[in-house]
Structure 1
Amino acid sequence: MSAPPISGRPGTADTNDHYDLDPEIFGLFLDPLRKYSSGLYEGPGDTLETAQRRKLRFVADRLGVRTGSRVLDAGCGWGSLILFFAKEFGCATTGISPAGRQHEYIAARAADLGVAGQVSSVVGHFEKAQLPEGGFDGVTMLGSIVHMPDLSGVLAKARRLLRKDGRLYVSESCFRNAAAHERFDRRDGTQFVRDSIFGWGDMRPLSELVRGVEDAGFSVIAVDDLTAHYHRTIEDWIKGVHAHADRIDALRDGMSARLVRYLEVANAGWGYTTKHYALTCRKGR
């Protein structure tokens, strides 16, 4: 099986400092897959790694992937989904990210896992990337659409990239409603996360995402509330930062405190100002 005929040289498109940090920093507080989005927990004894592997299987189920499925992950991070789908399901996968260090890491891990022929990546932004229309069975955006200002353009492009009956999976943190968006968008904590961590990011209410996918021509086939799971995921990340603070700060001075502040701000508003949802959508025609 061969991967989609797309590749990107390690480099850096316009990105922000956070996502182009030394990958070893993230290896010290994330799970071994370095998945930087919500896990899926079933019981009190679940580890972060167990929850993240379960979440990836959940995404695969929502997409209906099988051997040979071609999957595009927009905002692929350190490649957790594209590497997992290639290894566990025999998919041909492509990831997109503007952070050059992430691509170097993905290429090395794909070689280690024996899936280099199934995994490729593109350095750049989803909105600008040259990709084959109708070339994918599934498109995923796990916590990445928040960084994309042109919602309608992004969703229209995702639909063009999918074959008929292909599926789009979007999971994203959202303001609980439009009033919460208006009230809290300019608070100090929100601006710290956006300016110091995200580079650019705008959490939209779920209603905007649903309207966006519907206007793009998708049918919504599932909406999952993952708020409690993300809260617990971040709690586990904070524990990881505290446990490895000295090593994190040796790689970037003061980084552990900055991470803790970011994660505590992110965890403060769940259910009150913010929620975390997953939308699964189908391209019906």
Structure 2
Amino acid sequence: MVDYSFVADHFKFLFTRFLPEVINHSQEQDIRIGRAHYDRGNDFFGAFLGPRMVYTSGFFLSPGDSLEAAQDQKIQLVCEKLQLKKGERLLDIGCGWGTLVAFAARDYGVDATGITVAEKGAEFANAQIAREGVSGSARVKVLDYRDIPKERYQKISCLEMAEHVGVRKFGRFMEQVYGLLDDDGLFFLQIAGLRAKNGLLGFHFEDLVWGLFMNKYIFPGADASMPLSFVVENLEKAGFEIHSVENIGIHYSLTIARWYDNWMANRAEVVKTYGEWWFRLWQVFLAWSVEIAAQGSSTAFQLVANKNLNRFDRRRWIGATNLGERDLTGKKSP
């Protein structure tokens, strides 16, 4: 039997690290924490992410899809939900290893810019862009989101980076995105979330203990994983109109299960380079997260939004790809 009781170490972490980081979220803190995680080593992440190097939920057309197929399908879905058109400017905030940036430039003909705080990730991304032959129309820059130049983009994407902004600064980040988006543009947000609070105390103890484990050992400072209502409220306060919301939590469970299999298959190389402690930590993280996502404790949402303006042409939604589980089924992955 598993015991999820709140123990002394939880209280210590909560008051000495978690809450101070939530309150602070300075640029220096966020960059330091981000690089400590994402610049650990491309080989470390490749040991579970596989050749696509995508650190966000995939999208499955069948439970038996491979990880590569699921990530290809997810990237295609993002591009279709954004209604990308040749020549448009795309900004991908928190682009990871640049896979979406390279794909969008290659297959949709957009001018794509990705930003990340991870120097090793950016180096990998620009090499990937060069291999795809789109260096003239795609690039990844080492840049904190607060330093994005005040330019305009027709399309903006942000996949599972907004969690790192923090609860206190999430609304301001949404306002920043609003200011970067053209008046007739679209914003795609994929964000990890938590189930809405319920019960006498407002939360499930396993959810709370898992969240503290994640913040202590895996994603320090990523405290903006919140229920959907929080995300919707902040988008609308920033001036957005939400067109669609899709819960892809079960897709995340399947994605992480594939990551777990990859990680276990690469045990020898991981232990040789990083040691037994890192291998076992990620083993627990991935195995636990498969179940957490499957039971609904944690999930992921895809939201598409536009500026809430009278002149925005809403006829564009008719006949478009709006919900992946309805519209992508039966389509071939790229």
Which residue number in structure 2 is paired with residue 278 of structure 1? 302
Which residue number in structure 1 is paired with residue 8 of structure 2? none
Which residue among 149, 159, 164 is the counterpart of 1:147?
Answer: 164
Q: How big is the shift at 1:145? A: 0.8
Whether 1:67 aligns to 2:90 is: no
Of 87-96 and 270-279, the range deviating more from structure 2:
270-279
TM-score by length of 2: 0.77
Judging changes above 3 Å, is the alpha-carbon distance between structure 1 residues 272 and 111 closer, same or farther for their aligned structure 2 residues?
Answer: closer
Q: How big is the shift at 1:265? A: 2.9
Q: How big is the shift at 1:259? A: 1.3
- Name structure 2 gaps, 5 residues minimum: 1-29, 310-334
Q: What letter corresponds to residue 156 of structure 1 in structure 2? A: E
Given that 1:16 and 1:197 are in contact with CA atoms closer than 8 Å, whether structure 2 keeps it comes out as no
Of 217-226 and 274-283, the range deviating more from structure 2:
274-283
After superposition, where does 1:1-285 map in structure 2 within 5 Å?
13-14=31-32, 15-126=34-145, 128-133=146-151, 135-149=152-166, 150-179=169-198, 182-184=203-205, 187-202=208-223, 203-254=225-276, 255-270=278-293, 271-285=295-309
Given that 2:98 and 2:126 are in contact with CA atoms closer than 8 Å, whether structure 1 keeps it comes out as no
Q: How big is the shift at 1:20? A: 0.8
Judging changes above 3 Å, is the alpha-carbon distance between structure 1 residues 179 and 145 closer, same or farther for their aligned structure 2 residues?
Answer: farther
Q: How big is the shift at 1:182? A: 4.9
**Distance in 2 separating the partners of 1:125 and 1:178:** 32
Q: What letter corresponds to residue 142 of structure 1 in structure 2? A: L
Q: How big is the shift at 1:173? A: 1.7
Superimposed CA distance per residue, residues 37-92 of structure 1 (whole angstroms, 9 cap, x where no aligned partner): 11111124311101100100100111110111211111111111111111111111
Of 144-153 and 112-121, the range deviating more from structure 2:
112-121
Judging changes above 3 Å, is the alpha-carbon distance between structure 1 residues 258 and 221 closer, same or farther for their aligned structure 2 residues?
Answer: same
Judging changes above 3 Å, is the alpha-carbon distance between structure 1 residues 110 and 163 closer, same or farther for their aligned structure 2 residues?
Answer: same
Given that 1:22 and 1:251 are in contact with CA atoms closer than 8 Å, whether structure 2 keeps it comes out as no
Of 192-201 and 231-240, the range deviating more from structure 2:
192-201
TM-score by length of 1: 0.89
Q: How big is the shift at 1:29? A: 1.7
Q: How big is the shift at 1:16? A: 4.2
Q: What letter corresponds to residue 228 of structure 1 in structure 2? A: I
User: What secondary structure, in the 3-state scheme, does the structure 1 residue paired with 2:147 have?
Assistant: coil
Task: Let me know the Cα RMSD of the aligned residues.
Answer: 2.0
Q: How big is the shift at 1:186? A: 8.2
Judging changes above 3 Å, is the alpha-carbon distance between structure 1 residues 182 and 96 closer, same or farther for their aligned structure 2 residues?
Answer: farther
Q: Which has the higher helix share?
A: 2
**Distance in 2 separating the partners of 1:258 and 1:138:** 37
Q: How big is the shift at 1:19? A: 0.9
- What percentage of residue pairs aligned between the two structures are identical? 28
Bigger CA radius of gyration? 2
User: What secondary structure, in the 3-state scheme, does the structure 1 residue paired with 2:192 have?
Assistant: strand
**Distance in 2 separating the partners of 1:272 and 1:24:** 31
Judging changes above 3 Å, is the alpha-carbon distance between structure 1 residues 73 and 132 closer, same or farther for their aligned structure 2 residues?
Answer: same
User: What secondary structure, in the 3-state scheme, does the structure 2 residue paired with 1:222 have?
Assistant: strand
**Distance in 2 separating the partners of 1:227 and 1:284:** 27
- Name structure 1 gaps, 5 residues minimum: 1-11
